[in-house]
């Protein structure tokens, strides 16, 4: 019988490799051994199965049993109170909540798949609620907004988007334009504010975001302070709102003026002055940052 | 044909013992709740004779002739009129028992050319109970095949009538509601392992000369179980230091060591009568030397065997069963809750399980015919490697059962420690170790 040169354990007769460390057994030709009888009658099957774990199974069973109990309770209570014709919304809501919980447990435990599944289920739920009188009205707007959430906050984190950054950016932009277009058509039944407000606002926001990233990335010091990110984001948000007010006033009244966003605009300007100051003057920057760095 | 269970058992409905309550609802793909004892012999095992032996054993131990059912409030056992099925041995032990394929029986008899094995679902009995069934089966097989007649020392006698105590639930007798409940403990470290895993149970079997390990344990004033527990803890400490480099973030490492309560409380039941001793170390306090671990283990094992502490554990377990909210909750709610809570109350508290079934004394007539005795546990999802120990003649067999497909680091560290300690270890496995598996090398090998 051979011994493993690495582990020092005695190996069963005829072993080609050590079962513990996979070190190859090399024997002189005249000392080669026949295989010993295996530990079990048959070889291990090529593949095993994964199945649903005990915890997942328990959770699913619990959700299903609660679903059955609550559906029955709702049904009988409404039947006894002669309001069965209003039972669609509570029963549908319980069914959708059950489906959501089970799908989330069974889907891949990562942000993109969980958020995608949840977005889809929310859309289905909204459409279902609206469809109980066999027409679709408000749910279309809500469903499209959820779809926009997916486009902005889920799709960019997918592995495809990460590996095809340019295409992904283009797709997001196109979908944003499409969203504005559909919203305009659904709300006004014609293209009204889409070009003068929607597209213009989108262009301004993109330009501001682009400038913000440029300012963050094209700097000498590669370490970006958290305060710069917060103030920069605040500036973009406040100025975008002011521009939105400006465009809306022009669209509604016909003149360029600020109606409700004057304070926001001034706040954004103060932030801009502050950010420019600390970017230009090292002394000012040091005044506002850690004293440890002064030396 | 009317099946008669014992007189004292209510006909048609047999309550599960307290330990067994948790096993049926938590049974799942990575939680088979099974174990296996097997005996290898030189003679060729014949299926027909084994079938007859199984029928006779079921006649003697009528309480094993049961199947599991789900009631409105609890799972329960009821007499099983179907015939026992004898299975050809497969490729791995302690897998999930498909009750339908087994005619509803809670234990499975398997055979190969030179092996008789008994695989058991934990709801029926514990390791000692299963070993008693296996002894009876082997004894009857030899009698029927005409080879020789013998009696295992201390085992059940075939000629005796089953006693009331054999199917009693001692936990209910020992329950004392005035005692305080045993405290629950924090989460323990769990070895994640490298690579993929699936439900195939991969075995690495380490055979050790009993004298050598006994001597090594004696040098440190330990029993064999304590010595093996110490080695296991030392191995897990090494693995944790690789997985969790920051000392402060290291969780406690604890082992669950089943204790046979039959000897402690003097009951001779054939149902579950086991509690778990929890021994462990706190690696967040610093690295333990092997000697320090042995001291901890010795002390904790003594404490765990104290009758008072055991009674307190029994109070906690039986108290839970007798709680009105649990008693009258329907099974449809209780099952999923048990599944969700079983990790929190059980597996999460331990980093591993090591079960020592003890030394099997063989009758003189059989001793020369036995080539090997094995004991295997089913691993779990949190603790993917389980250790089962059994002794016979001059050998101690330590069986590692694992769900991990390629990672054998725990087994390697455990065995190499013993080799370095001067114990010769012989390895056998059901893992593929042919030339095609060279690419098996784990991440540890690269380091």
* C-beta separation of B307 from B179 below 8 A: no
Residues of A in contact with B339 (CB under 8 A): 54-55, 57-59, 61
Q: Where are the alpha helices (DSSP H) in B15-46?
A: 23-26
pTM of the model: 0.78
How would you class A235 by CB atoms within 10 Å of its CB: exposed for 0-12, middle for 13-18, buried for 19 or more? buried
* A 71-100 near B (Cβ less than 8 A): none
Q: CA–CA separation, B419 vs A140, rounded Å?
A: 71
In a domain, A175, yes or no: no
| Strand-strand pairing, B34-41 and B66-70 | unpaired
Name residues whose C-beta falls within 8 Å of residue A201's C-beta, 6 or more positions apart in sequence: A240, A243, A244, A247
- Establish whether domains B14-165 and B197-446 are of one fold: yes
A252 touches chain B (CB under 8 A): no
- Residue ranges covered by each domain of chain B: 14-165, 197-446
Q: Using the predicted structure, report yes or no on whether residue A294 has a pLDDT greater than 80.
A: no
| Range B197-219 average pLDDT | 94
Among chain B residues, CA nearest to A66 = B333
Among chain B residues, CA nearest to A50 = B198
Check B91 against A55: CB less than 8 A apart. no
Tokens of A275: 């950010």
Name the residue among B338, B340, B438 with its Cβ closest to that of A59: B340
Confidence of residue B5 (pLDDT cuts 50, 70, 90): very low
Among candidates B239, B255, B251, B243, which has minimal Cα distance to B283?
A: B251
Among chain B residues, CA nearest to A63 = B336
Q: How many domains does chain A have?
A: 2
Check A21 against B91: CB less than 8 A apart. no
| DSSP classification of residue A135 | -
Among candidates B360, B301, B175, which has minimal Cα distance to B293?
A: B301
Q: Using the predicted structure, report yes or no on whether residue A118 has a pLDDT greater than 90.
A: yes
Check B343 against A40: CB less than 8 A apart. no
Q: CA–CA separation, B182 vs B349, rounded Å?
A: 14
3-state secondary structure of A253: coil
Name the residue among B90, B419, B431 with its Cβ closest to that of A42: B90
Name the residue among B381, B412, B432 with its Cβ closest to that of A20: B412
A57 touches chain B (CB under 8 A): yes
B197-446: CATH architecture: 2-Layer Sandwich (3.30)
pLDDT value of position B408: 93
pLDDT in tens, B44-65: 999 999 999 999 999 999 889 9
In a domain, A107, yes or no: no
* C-beta separation of B411 from B388 below 8 A: no
Name residues whose C-beta falls within 8 Å of residue A187's C-beta, 6 or more positions apart in sequence: A141
Q: Using the predicted structure, report yes or no on whether residue B434 has a pLDDT greater than 70.
A: no
CA angle B343, B347, B351 (to 5 degrees): 145
How would you class A4 by CB atoms within 10 Å of its CB: exposed for 0-12, middle for 13-18, buried for 19 or more? buried
A26 touches chain B (CB under 8 A): no
Q: Using the predicted structure, report yes or no on whether residue A259 has a pLDDT greater than 80.
A: yes
A59 touches chain B (CB under 8 A): yes
3-state secondary structure of A89: helix
pLDDT value of position B446: 38
Check B336 against A58: CB less than 8 A apart. yes
Among chain A residues, CA nearest to B23 = A54
Q: CA–CA separation, B314 vs B377, rounded Å?
A: 23
pLDDT value of position B234: 97
Name residues whose C-beta falls within 8 Å of residue A277's C-beta, 6 or more positions apart in sequence: A284
ipTM for this prediction:
0.80
pLDDT in tens, B250-295: 999 999 999 999 888 988 889 899 899 999 999 999 999 999 999 9
Among B433, B436, B438, the residue to mutate for chain A (most A Cβ within 10 A): B433
Q: CA–CA separation, B256 vs B19, rounded Å?
A: 15
Q: Using the predicted structure, report yes or no on whether residue B439 has a pLDDT greater than 80.
A: no
pLDDT in tens, B331-386: 888 888 888 888 877 888 999 999 999 999 999 999 999 999 999 999 998 999 99
Tokens of B16: 């599960």
Residues of B in contact with A57 (CB under 8 A): 28, 336, 339
Q: CA–CA separation, B358 vs B224, rounded Å?
A: 9
pLDDT value of position A292: 55
Check A21 against B340: CB less than 8 A apart. no
| DSSP classification of residue A84 | G
Name the residue among B113, B203, B337 with its Cβ closest to that of A62: B337
Taking CA atoms, B426 is separated from A41, B205, B358, B391, B446, in Å, by 20, 8, 19, 14, 25
Backbone φ and ψ for B86, nearest 5 degrees, come out as -100, 130
In a domain, A138, yes or no: no
Between B41 and B167, the higher pLDDT residue = B41
In a domain, A168, yes or no: no
A58 touches chain B (CB under 8 A): yes
Q: Is A115 left (phi over 0), alpha (psi -120 to 50) or beta?
A: alpha
Confidence of residue B6 (pLDDT cuts 50, 70, 90): very low
How far off is chain B from A125, nearest CA to CA, in Å?
27
A27 touches chain B (CB under 8 A): no
Adjacent-strand bridge partners of B203: B401
Sheet holding B395-404, edge to edge: A10-11, B425-429, B197-209, B395-404, B385-392, B352-360, B253-260, B274-281
**CATH (residue range B14-165):** 3.30.559.10
Name the residue among A22, A41, A62 with its Cβ closest to that of B90: A41
pLDDT in tens, B138-168: 999 999 998 888 888 877 888 888 888 888 8
Q: Which residue has the tokens 């008994």?
A: B118
Backbone φ and ψ for A226, nearest 5 degrees, come out as -60, -35
In a domain, A132, yes or no: no
| DSSP classification of residue B376 | E
Residues of A in contact with B29 (CB under 8 A): 49-53
Contacts 24+ apart (CB under 8 A), B391-394: B391/B210, B391/B224, B391/B358, B391/B359, B391/B360, B392/B359, B392/B360, B392/B362, B393/B210, B393/B362, B393/B367, B394/B209, B394/B210, B394/B211
Structural domain that includes position A287: 193-295
In a domain, A82, yes or no: no
Among chain A residues, CA nearest to B112 = A41
Name residues whose C-beta falls within 8 Å of residue B404's C-beta, 6 or more positions apart in sequence: B193, B194, B195, B196, B197, B202, B384, B385
């Amino acid at each position: 019988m051979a011994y493993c040169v690495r582990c020092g354990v005695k190996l069963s007769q005829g072993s080609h490799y050590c079962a513990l460390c996979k070190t190859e057994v090399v024997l002189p030709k005249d000392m080669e051994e026949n295989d010993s009888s295996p530990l079990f009658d048959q070889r291990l099957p090529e593949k095993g199965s994964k199945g649903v774990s005990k915890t997942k199974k328990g959770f699913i069973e619990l959700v299903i049993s609660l679903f059955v109990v609550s559906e029955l309770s709702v049904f009988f209570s409404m039947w006894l109170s002669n309001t069965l014709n209003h039972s669609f919304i509570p029963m549908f809501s319980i069914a959708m909540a059950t489906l959501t919980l089970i799908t989330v447990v069974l889907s891949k435990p990562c942000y993109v798949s969980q958020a995608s599944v949840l977005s889809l289920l929310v859309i289905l739920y909204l459409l279902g609620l609206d469809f109980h009188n066999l027409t679709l009205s408000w749910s279309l707007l809500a469903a499209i907004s959820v779809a926009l959430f997916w486009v902005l906050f889920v799709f960019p984190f997918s592995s495809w988007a990460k590996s095809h950054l340019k295409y992904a950016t283009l797709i997001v932009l196109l979908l944003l334009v499409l969203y504005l277009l559909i919203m305009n058509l659904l709300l006004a039944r014609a293209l009204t504010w889409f070009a003068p407000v929607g597209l213009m606002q989108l262009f301004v926001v993109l330009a501001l975001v682009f400038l913000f990233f440029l300012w963050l990335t094209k700097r000498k010091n590669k370490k970006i302070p958290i305060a710069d990110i917060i103030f920069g984001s605040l500036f973009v948000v406040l100025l975008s709102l002011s521009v939105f007010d400006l465009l809306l006033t022009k669209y509604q009244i016909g003149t360029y003026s600020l109606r409700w966003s004057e304070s926001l605009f001034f706040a954004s300007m103060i932030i801009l002055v502050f950010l420019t100051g600390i970017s230009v003057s090292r002394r000012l920057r040091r005044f506002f940052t850690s004293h440890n760095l002064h030396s | 044909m009317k099946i008669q269970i014992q007189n004292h058992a209510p006909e048609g409905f047999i309550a599960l013992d307290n330990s067994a309550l948790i096993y049926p609802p938590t049974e799942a793909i990575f939680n088979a709740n099974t174990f296996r004892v097997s005996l290898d012999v030189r003679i060729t095992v014949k299926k027909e004779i084994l079938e007859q032996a199984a029928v006779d054993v079921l006649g003697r131990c009528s309480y094993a002739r049961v199947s599991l059912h789900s009631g409105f409030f609890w799972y329960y056992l009821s007499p099983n009129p179907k015939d026992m099925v004898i299975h050809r041995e497969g490729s791995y032990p302690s897998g999930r028992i498909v009750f339908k394929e087994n005619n509803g029986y809670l234990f499975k008899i398997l055979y190969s050319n030179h092996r008789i094995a008994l695989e058991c679902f934990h709801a029926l009995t514990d390791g000692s109970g299963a070993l008693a069934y296996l002894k009876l089966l082997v004894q009857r097989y030899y009698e029927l095949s005409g080879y020789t007649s013998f009696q295992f020392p201390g085992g059940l006698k075939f000629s005796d009538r089953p006693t009331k105590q054999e199917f009693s639930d001692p936990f209910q007798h020992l329950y004392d509601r005035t005692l305080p409940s045993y405290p629950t403990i924090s989460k323990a470290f769990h070895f994640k392992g490298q690579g993929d895993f699936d439900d195939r149970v991969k075995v690495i079997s380490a055979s050790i000369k009993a004298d050598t390990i006994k001597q090594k344990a004696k040098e440190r004033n330990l029993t064999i179980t304590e010595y093996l527990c110490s080695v296991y803890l030392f191995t897990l400490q090494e693995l944790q230091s690789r997985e969790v480099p920051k000392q402060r973030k290291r969780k406690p490492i604890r082992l669950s060591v089943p204790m046979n309560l039959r000897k402690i409380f003097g009951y001779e039941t054939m149902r579950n009568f086991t509690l778990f001793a929890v021994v462990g170390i706190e690696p967040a306090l610093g690295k333990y030397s092997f000697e320090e671990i042995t001291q901890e283990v010795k002390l904790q094992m003594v404490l765990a065997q104290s009758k008072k502490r055991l009674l307190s554990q029994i109070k906690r377990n039986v108290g839970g069963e007798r709680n009105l909210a649990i008693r009258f909750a329907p099974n449809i709610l209780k099952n999923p809750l048990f599944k969700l809570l079983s990790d929190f109350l059980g597996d999460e508290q331990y980093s591993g399980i090591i079960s020592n079934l003890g030394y099997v004394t063989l009758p003189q007539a059989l001793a020369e015919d036995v080539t090997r005795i094995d004991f295997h546990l089913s691993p779990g999802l949190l603790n993917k490697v389980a250790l089962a120990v059994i002794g016979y003649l001059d050998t101690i067999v330590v069986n590692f059962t694992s769900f991990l497909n390629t990672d054998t680091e725990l087994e390697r560290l455990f065995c190499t420690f013993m080799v370095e300690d001067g114990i010769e270890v012989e390895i056998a496995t059901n893992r593929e170790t042919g030339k095609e598996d060279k690419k098996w090398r784990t991440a540890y090998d690269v380091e």
